[in-house]
């Protein structure tokens, strides 16, 4: 059983991860990598716009399809031996409409989350390559600083002597 905290983390984690990766990309990527990133980002932004527009245009159709599915589910034979006075009405119109709208919106959020995940998957290798390039560039500097350190053996060691 998941707690409310876990549900909130699962809801916001992909979006916050995407924002973190975008910030890192803006700081780390060079011109060629940035151009490749922008091309991928523009393509995925186009998919986001298409998904949002498709929802706006097809919302009523999607809801009616979900309603049909929910009504068929409610009308299926169930082997529950519970007195009808204690059960709920499976054909409650308001509940079916509400559930259908919730399902359509949830499916739309999942579509957008999948697009965000694809963007994260595209950014990660670019960032890894940029970090490897940066590490290769900084390694000779660190090695030189280490070799130039001309203090004697005891002075090189960083120790805090307590008296």
134 pLDDT above the threshold of 70:
yes
What mean pLDDT value characterizes the chain? 83
The percentage of the chain sitting over the pLDDT mark of 90, rounded to a whole number, equals: 45
pLDDT exceeds cutoff 60 at 111: yes
pLDDT digit string, tens, across residues 78-110: 766 666 666 666 678 899 999 999 999 999 999
pLDDT top residue among 5 and 57: 57
What angle in degrees, to the nearest 10, is found between the helix axes of 4-28 and 93-148? 40
Burial class (CB in 10 A: 0-12, 13-18, 19+), 96: buried
Q: What is the DSSP string of the chain?
A: ---HHHHHHHHHHHHHHHHHHHHHHHHH--HHHHHHHHHHHHHHHHHHHHHHHHHHHHHHHHHHHHHHHHHHHHHS-------GGGS--TT-HHHHHHHHHHHHHHHHHHHHHHHHHHHHHHHHHHHHHHHHHHHHHHHHHHHHHHHH----HHHHS------
The percentage of residues in the chain with a pLDDT greater than 70, rounded to a whole number, is 75
Given a cut of 70, whether residue 77 has pLDDT beyond it is no
- The band of 50, judged by pLDDT with boundaries at 50, 70 and 90, is very high
d(CA 154, CA 145): 18
- Report domain extents, the chain: 12-76+88-132
Position 56 scores a pLDDT of 96
Six-digit token string for 8: 């909130």
Q: pTM for this structure?
A: 0.70
Supply the pLDDT for residue 151: 65
Give the pLDDT score at 156.
59
């Amino acid at each position: 059983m998941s707690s409310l905290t876990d549900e909130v983390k699962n809801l916001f984690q992909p979006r916050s991860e995407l924002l973190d990766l975008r910030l890192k990309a803006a700081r780390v990527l060079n011109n060629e990598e940035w151009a490749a990133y922008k091309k991928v980002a523009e393509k995925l932004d186009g998919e986001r716009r298409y998904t949002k527009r498709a929802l706006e245009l097809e919302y009523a159709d999607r809801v009616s399809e979900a309603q049909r599915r929910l009504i068929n589910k409610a009308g299926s034979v169930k082997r529950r031996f519970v007195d009808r006075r204690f059960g709920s009405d499976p054909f409650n119109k308001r509940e079916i409409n509400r559930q259908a709208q919730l399902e359509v919106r949830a499916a739309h959020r999942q579509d957008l989350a999948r697009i965000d995940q694809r963007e994260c998957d595209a950014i990660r290798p670019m960032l890894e390559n940029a970090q490897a390039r940066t590490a290769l560039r900084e390694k000779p500097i660190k090695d030189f600083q280490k070799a130039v350190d001309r203090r004697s053996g005891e002075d090189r060691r960083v120790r805090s002597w307590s008296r």
